[in-house]
Chains A and B, each alone.
Chain A
């Protein structure tokens, strides 16, 4: 029961959020310099006829709410209009770029979790020791390196000097893609891993002083059970939140890394669209970004429900 109310509340909040975002996004076009018809004309010659044609095509003479409603109706059906720059449907343009960004985001998250969680745990276990200090220092340094600088370092070291990885592009076959995306994923995951390490270390340190860990040891439980069932599971909650937010950020495009590795992802698309004043594409990307953040947050809530019985039974609100 508590689960359903929680989900219903979260869904309602998500819808309201997306509604506000869509209104703002649509307002972009109306508020753009030179008026909507100028933007929609793009590079085409601006004559009385073309302008009239545009006004008719986009129903620009209708009142704002009616235009918004029509646009929203189309958007919900997946129709964001046509890119002013390429004259292709916006949906196709985005669908074309999505796979690269999605695989990069997934790959980076995998690396972040696979490296960050164990390192954070180990640092907490060896608190104050040389290993802890090494890990903490490394995390701090990694956090301080900007992603594009790390990209260039990796490119120079592993792609140019050693020649282990390709310099450019996203690859065609799945295996090829993994090879192509390895360096970008590492560049993207670097700072994020450092964040997860610090988060995990703090969460695990918090746990180390807890009576239930001592009590588990006092009962002679095997070490594996204590670390997985007790430490990892209890420390997972704050890390889940951070991991989700990182995933959302990566999915909406990782500008610097895409630029550095010449990947045609959503980040590069967004930069291009803004440069070319391709408002329909920008609108779709902004709305997509909003939807991704909302969806990932819902997923985090669901994960909390799965992990923590206190949330499941409505004893605490997350």
Chain B
């Protein structure tokens, strides 16, 4: 029986954001709402819970167990929230009140109970989400890890036994292994309670692994829906098909990563046409004439594409042999690097080499020391012990013999979040010119050359970062790093904050740069599928120690260390 029924949901702020979404969730069913950033999926979830941010209005209909929620009074909504519909949010670090204990969060959400019974009930609820240690109830959020916080939040969200749980990217901010645990927990709780779950995610693999049915959202509307396995096996919309093709695989190194060209349009610019037509490889004139309806292919299977999707030639692509190790000597040598922060050991004696023109992946979870390693090599952090050698020069930060001047011409960095790593006050051209001026005068690249290198039009030089999309900003950041023609490029999770289709683009760009300029890469990531696509060799870091290293294919296909095996097991299968 239908629990949640969303019909023609439209969310408008200054612009149209969600455009006529239909969705339903039955009791005991998990439905996935998949889309990239800007697709309107999170605001759809907020609208269902009646928690839209100020300034946004929703029209259409949202009925929960037959009761209309849209336009209902706040009083009614408050009685429905928590007891019938609960919302679990993305960031476990921001979702809990920093001043209250974990137990208090659960207790305040419970119905009224006598004191002693309440305490026992809190512990029971925490046990349900896999927290067996009763002392956790007395701890504050800042004393708990991300995974623990997400568990506490889940217990609090479930305290009034809602019939429907909306989980908005509940695992995006977590490490791979924790992510896997939380997803399995979510599935377990859902099955035990027979609850309906609406899972919002940008990760197709997560959606397919967990959901009975999946709806794909694009530019504020649903473009395809159907059972998870059906959508994964035979996508019926070119967008879904493009997203699937852009997914990196952990088992094979793809010769070419297919990105979806262009960027997501605003919902209101495409109300009367197919929203995807401008980026579609098989668009026909008809696509730009009317908005394609969500037509039924078979019972429960719908697509908003007028045509049959051409299958992508992606049946067992030839595994790419890793590029032959370049002949050059060792470019970066890190020996026994140690660094402590208070009582926490960030690096406990890490050694690794990067050859000239080689690509080395560093894999590990948060807290494994991978970012500290990058900062030490860049000279941004001073290690407590060990050596960093670049092209034969001792550049160990803080060491007496260190000769850092000139080191910035040898090594450059691309950071994780391009929205904060570019100066918002400078135009792209000014940023690139400033960076290039740090290099040697002869052979200094011009702004146009740098933009061309990363595949951006020359006209972008006059734009400011705000006017660019996330992927474009990251390409500018890469161009900036390349401006001094470094021999080594350190990439610290450069695609972690990007959408899948954009990630494919950036990864492909980095591969091309390496091939054409011979720049060595030290690629730091938590994503094994990404490392498979980009690195010749892989080093696995665990709690500041190298636990395994070797050729990427060998490490991923035949892992020798337990931790590597655990990391691999937590990667959702690639459809």
> A residues touching B (Cβ–Cβ < 8 Å)?
127, 210-212, 214-223, 225, 229-230, 233-234, 307-310, 313, 315
Contact = CB atoms under 8 A, between A and B. Distances in A.
Main secondary structure of the interface of A (DSSP, over half): helix
Interface of B: 49, 51, 54, 78-83, 86-87, 89-91, 94-101, 108-109, 140, 142-143, 153, 156-157, 159-160
Given A127-B54, A211-B91, A229-B108, A218 B81 contact: yes
Contact of A219 (B54, B91, B160): B160
A218 B354 CA distance: 50
A308 B78 CA distance: 28
B94 A212 contact: yes
A234 B96 CA distance: 12
A212 B95 contact: yes
Contacts of B83: 220
Contact of A308 (B87, B90, B99, B157): B99
A310 B86 contact: no
B94 A229 contact: no
A307 B87 contact: no
A244 B153 CA distance: 35
Given A214-B51, A219-B109, A309-B101, 5 more contacts: A211-B89, A212-B96, A219-B82, A307-B99, A309-B142
Nearest to B87: A218
Nearest to A234: B99
B81 A220 contact: yes
Contacts of B51: 214, 217-218
A280 to B, nearest CB: 47
A219 B94 contact: no
B100 A229 contact: yes
Given A215-B89, A229-B108, A310-B142, A220 B97 contact: no
B118 to A, nearest CB: 15
Contacts of B86: 218-219
Most buried by B among A210, A216, A233: A216
A215 B143 contact: no
B317 to A, nearest CB: 41
A32 B89 CA distance: 67
Contacts of A308: 98-99
B81 A211 contact: no
Given A218-B157, A219-B86, A219-B159, A210 B94 contact: yes
Nearest to A216: B97
Given A221-B109, A309-B140, A313-B143, A214 B160 contact: no
Nearest to A225: B108
A84 B247 CA distance: 87
A130 B140 CA distance: 38
Contacts of A223: 78
Contacts of B140: 309-310, 313
Given A225-B108, A310-B140, A215 B81 contact: no
B566 to A, nearest CB: 29
A215 B95 contact: yes
Contacts of B142: 309-310, 313, 315
Most buried by B among A217, A220, A223: A220
Contacts of A221: 82, 108-109
A233 B97 CA distance: 10
A126 to B, nearest CB: 10
11 contacts: A211-B91, A215-B89, A215-B156, A218-B86, A219-B156, A219-B159, A220-B160, A221-B108, A234-B98, A313-B140, A315-B143
